[in-house]
Structures are given as C-alpha cells and as structure tokens.
Amino acid sequence: MIGRIIKQISNDYTVLGNDNNLYVCKARGKFRNIKVTPIVGDLVNFDIDKKYIMKILPRENMLIRPTVANIDQLIIISSVKEPDFDSNLLDKLLVIAEYNRLKPIICLSKVDLLNEKELENINYYADYYKKIGYEVIINHEVDDIKNRLKNKITVFTGQSGAGKSTLLNHLDNNLDIKTGEISYALGRGKHTTRHTELLNVNDGWVADTPGFSSLDFIDMTKEEIRDNFVEFQELRDECKYKDCMHIKENDCAIKDNVENGNILKERYDNYIKFINSKEKEH
C-alpha cells in the first residue's frame, strides 16, 4: 500500500495509508545500506501485513533541519517580544526556504506586548519584507491562517518560545500541544516539541517541529546564500562584476542600495555574517 509518514519516534514510523488507517512500521534494513532514511512527509510503499516500509517515493523537496519532506510552505513564527525579534534567524529561514523552493510566510507573534514605539519599529521591518515580496501575517489572524493550511503540507518553525505550539492549539484546540514558558536566564523559549509529526489541521497537514534558535546552511555554498537573498537578484546585473559577492567589490549596486536605504541594512549585515560563517567552515 502507498501511504504518507506522519510521525517518527525513534525507529517507529506512523504511516497514514491510502485507506485512511494508521500503521506503525519499521524501515527495511536496505535503507541503512544505501544511506537513505525515511522521514516525516515521505510518500512510501509499505507492506501492510509485515508493517515494513519497502520504498520511498520520489521527494518534491526536503529540509534537513527540521527534517520534513514534500513541503508546500513554511510559516515562520517570529516573536517580536519575549523573546525579542530575531532578524538573523528569520533571514536564515527565508534563505533556506528560497533555496528549497518553498513558499515562506512570516507570522509575527506577541505583537500585543509591544508599546507604540516598538510597534512602529516592527512595522518598519514588516513593510520591508512585504516590499521584497514576502507575505507577513499576525498570529491572531486565525481564520486567515486556517485557510492557508487547506490541502497543503506546512512547516511551522522559528524561534524557540515564539508561540508555535500556542498557535497550533488556537488553530485546533483538540491538538492540546504542550507549550513551554520562557527561560529568562537564556532569553529564549524552552523546547517543548520532542519529535517531528504531521498534524491534521483544517484539511491540511502541519509539521510541529522541535524548537531551535540556531541553524546552519547545510550543503549551501556562499554563492547559493547570496543568490537566495531575493532583493539582490533584481540589482545583480547593475554590479560591475558578474560574480560580485556584494561585500568588498567596487561599483556594487547592492552596497549602494544599502547606503541609500533601499535595502535594509540589518538584513545586509546578516548576509555578511552568513558569508563569514561559511568561510570559517573551510
């Protein structure tokens, strides 16, 4: 039978068969030999009697961390306070989404905690991300978010303590996902999700993934990081050098647009940090 892996705990894979029944299966040993691991989101061929996954069907895409396959969209939960807004992590996730050809949606949480000046600052960021083509929504817009989930596989990700589990509980109060408090000593949320699982929400599948506050550009080159900053692409032909990295080169259109305010300086600074981190790997 063909089915989709909707949950993995250790070596047990919960597969939703095309008969709408759930089966807890093991992966055949051959997957270890060919160094392939079934992951949540995979469409698989499995033996209904022996409860073994026999074959992984071709993937549309996959993320390494969080490890999920065949994703349609990424909803990035970005807290604006407690924990504070983290543009570095947001930009990493946007670059990774672009690289994997996933549709990213920025979802701001805890906006109600902001004072007037802080709200003005967050709106400045939101307006910039909208200007370069990203959708920005607020986590209180529950009906809008529900409609976005229909007939799609969606990954919810972002800062630890940003409110991913809380939002999922608001989307479907039958989920009863455990939520965690903020560690004020660390300034970030405590992890509450221990495994990756697809949850059925409003006729779609949502991946609740383990919280994290750091992420690496696995298998991405410096050039691929550069090419997935969407606003850089529109100006790239205006640079003097075809292979311009937009850091030390002269006559660089990207640097000029940072100076004149057309490109958000903090986002450009994050880009430089990402490139420097890749250089340190070698």
- Residue % of the chain over a pLDDT of 90: 70
Query: Which of the residue ranges 124-138, 177-191, 198-212 would you say has the lowest mean pLDDT?
Result: 177-191
- Residue % of the chain over a pLDDT of 70: 89
In CATH, the number for domain 2-58 is 2.40.50.140
pTM assigned to the model: 0.85
Residue 141 one-letter amino acid: E
In CATH, the number for domain 63-208 is 3.40.50.300
CATH architecture of 222-280: Orthogonal Bundle (1.10)
The Cα–Cα gap between 262 and 245 comes to 18
Dig out the tokens for 269 from the structure: 């600074």
pLDDT score at 66 = 67
- Kindly report, residue by residue over 121-162, the tens digit of the pLDDT: 999 999 999 999 999 999 999 999 999 999 999 988 888 788
Each domain of the chain, given as residue ranges in start order, spans: 2-58, 63-208, 222-280
Tell which residue, 120, 107, 2, 115, has the closest CA to residue 54: 2
